[in-house]
Structure 1
């Protein structure tokens, strides 16, 4: 998988950067990923630069634009989702593969505002191809589990996509406060509801 660092270096014409320039780029990417998780796609270049410990001038020497940085970082994140789905599809046990993928996917949506926004199709353009690949893999995972009799057949794969997206919750509801494990408990309930009735 092409990393965000490799993508940005390729955009510079593939020239080998000085060691300090590469370190600054790596710090900016790490900072952008962290800021995306906490703040979402509205994070500013200034905040990313501060988190990376570099000046705004260094930011723009290494990065064409804030939007470019966020796009390559989100492409890397979505690439990890696709790799997780591919591992799940290779699992000889379709239900086990699906539940492993579901856990990775829902955890990412719960823990990263930016990834959740990107998977919801808002915020950053240029991700349509990757979102289409994720849709295709979710469909294949659902169809494999249904063909094996491990998942209810009366549920469309699109329903499963919405159910997985809905597992992540707000931190507050009706005066209750969720803890960091709420998404996992929600997911267990959803998976139990998806399981084929003949399965134990």
Structure 2
């Protein structure tokens, strides 16, 4: 009589990929969670070795789940890039062009302030594979359309170009990197100042949403950076 073999337990799978064992999928999710944390705080220069150590898995496991860092960048940031695109497309439906423009500018600034890696993958445009490049190509025309609507409405300065905005976001990002531990919302103060500078129809200064640092906070911020 032939010996019966135990049935193979079900495994989890993802579309378009070979099914992973449950423990392999758990390791994959641990690597993604660790990468999200490290990329957000340290940017995209962290290595797969760093991420594996932070996730508590072996380096070999990391390379089995992700061929290289760029594959992991795509796994971490695709959903976040999609959300930015959705914010831009929603802002385009706003009845007031200036409000739609400022809504997206502020929301994207908030995401970039909280996540250094997202700022780098979207604004620098040098990380990720073809999928991330395609998402950036969707975001750029939506952001440009928001700018054009606000200019046509006479509310945004007509000498502003679409290429100004990635640089303004980088400026706000530098403030965040300096002040994260002292005043994580400080970027909002400078967002307010920038927004006043962009308006074509300002009659009085807009109240700033965050106070200035006092001298002790300023010293802490600069000391921490260096």
TM-score normalised by length of structure 2: 0.70
1:30 to 2:33 alignment: yes
Structure number with greater CO (CA < 8 Å, separation at least 6) is: 1
Q: 1:133 aligns with which of 134, 138, 142?
A: 138
Q: How does 1:98-137 map to 2 (within 5 A)?
A: 98-121=101-124, 123-126=126-129, 127-137=132-142
1:51 to 2:54 alignment: yes
Q: How far apart in 2 are the matches of 1:19 and 1:97? A: 44
TM-aligned CA distance change 1:112 to 1:198, over 3 Å: closer
TM-aligned CA distance change 1:45 to 1:157, over 3 Å: closer
Structure 1 spans left out of the alignment, 5+ residues: 1-7
Q: How far apart in 2 are the matches of 1:26 and 1:172? A: 31
1:187 to 2:201 alignment: no
Larger Rg, first or second structure (1 or 2): 2
Q: How far apart in 1 are the matches of 2:70 and 2:165? A: 31
Q: How does 1:31-180 map to 2 (within 5 A)?
A: 31-121=34-124, 123-126=126-129, 127-170=132-175, 171-172=177-178, 179-180=183-184
Determine helix, strand or coil for the equivalent of 1:141. Answer: helix
- Kindly indicate whether the alpha-carbon contact (under 8 Å) linking 2:116 and 2:173 is maintained by their aligned counterparts in 1: no
Q: How far apart in 2 are the matches of 1:167 and 1:39? A: 16
